[in-house]
């Protein structure tokens, strides 16, 4: 399938998903992972979020925070088998970057970090990211490396509880972090933020 067609189908599918989520609205937000979704994030800049990490990208290359120095980062933790928040978040990040002038968008690096390293190896992440912005870097690693990165961003995720077929979803924080070129936290969005809002915030922030 052509990438454009695949993306169009994804957008269509996600549109339907968004409608379903809206219908489920109140229930969804009051669900058992409402707490986990909000994580420990505090509003406003200057808090000690983020930091050093050592992970592996979708091409199998080791990546550390130093590789992204001097760039704005949009950082999101999730997993490729996620059926709710993750596709919405990655699509919003993709569409926000698509709406910006190239000189602004090019200063922002979108990052996806898996919280499910058991299934999300580099090849799986590479496949998944074909549905989203071409400049996405997807990161995985050993469970302890993922745990360290998640802790730095105050992301929490629950241990998987596989069903009889071995399938599972992972409850996790669904915050999108905007980090500055010096590595400091600027502000956050979440998986229900619109691409329009994210793009406007980036336009106002990225210098
Ligand atoms: Ni998810």
SS3 118: coil
How much distance in Å is there from the Cα of 59 to the middle of ligand 1? 22
The tens-digit pLDDT sequence of the chain (207 residues) is 666 667 776 766 766 665 555 555 433 333 334 434 444 444 444 458 898 899 999 999 999 999 999 999 999 999 999 999 999 999 999 999 999 999 999 999 999 999 999 999 999 999 999 999 999 999 999 999 999 999 999 999 999 999 999 999 999 999 999 999 999 999 999 999 999 999 999 999 998
How much distance in Å is there from the Cα of 156 to the middle of ligand 1? 12
Q: What is the pLDDT of residue 37?
A: 46
Query: What backbone torsions phi and psi does residue 92 show, to the nearest 5 degrees?
Result: -60, -40
Residue closest to 113 by CA, chosen among 47, 53, 181, 169: 53
Q: What is the pLDDT of residue 5?
A: 67
How much distance in Å is there from the Cα of 84 to the middle of ligand 1? 6
CA distance 110 to 60: 17
pLDDT tens for each residue of 196-206: 999 999 999 99
Q: What is the pLDDT of residue 48?
A: 81
Q: What is the pLDDT of residue 9?
A: 67
Supply the Cα-derived Rg of the chain in whole angstroms. 16
pLDDT tens for each residue of 185-194: 999 999 999 9
Q: How many CB atoms lie within 10 A of CB 153?
A: 24
How much distance in Å is there from the Cα of 121 to the middle of ligand 1? 16
How much distance in Å is there from the Cα of 193 to the middle of ligand 1? 14
How much distance in Å is there from the Cα of 207 to the middle of ligand 1? 30
């Amino acid at each position: 399938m052509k990438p454009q067609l695949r993306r169009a189908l994804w957008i269509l599918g996600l549109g339907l998903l968004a409608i379903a989520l809206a219908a489920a609205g109140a229930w969804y937000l009051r669900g058992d992972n409402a707490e986990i979704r909000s994580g420990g994030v505090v509003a406003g800049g200057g808090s000690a979020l983020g930091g050093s990490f050592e992970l592996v990208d979708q091409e199998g290359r080791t990546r550390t925070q130093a590789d992204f120095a001097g760039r704005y980062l949009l950082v999101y933790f999730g997993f490729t088998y996620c059926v709710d928040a993750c596709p919405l978040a990655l699509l919003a990040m993709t569409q926000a970057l698509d709406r910006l002038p190239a000189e602004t968008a090019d200063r922002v690096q979108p990052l996806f970090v898996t919280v499910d390293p058991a299934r999300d190896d580099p090849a799986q992440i590479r496949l998944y990211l074909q549905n989203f912005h071409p400049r996405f870097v997807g990161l995985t690693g050993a469970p302890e490396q993922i745990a360290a990165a998640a802790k730095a961003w105050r992301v929490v995720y629950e241990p998987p509880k596989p069903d009889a077929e071995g399938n599972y979803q992972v409850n996790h924080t669904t915050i999108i972090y905007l980090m500055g070129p010096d590595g400091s936290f600027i502000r956050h969005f979440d998986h229900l933020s619109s691409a329009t809002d994210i793009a406007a915030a980036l336009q106002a922030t990225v210098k």
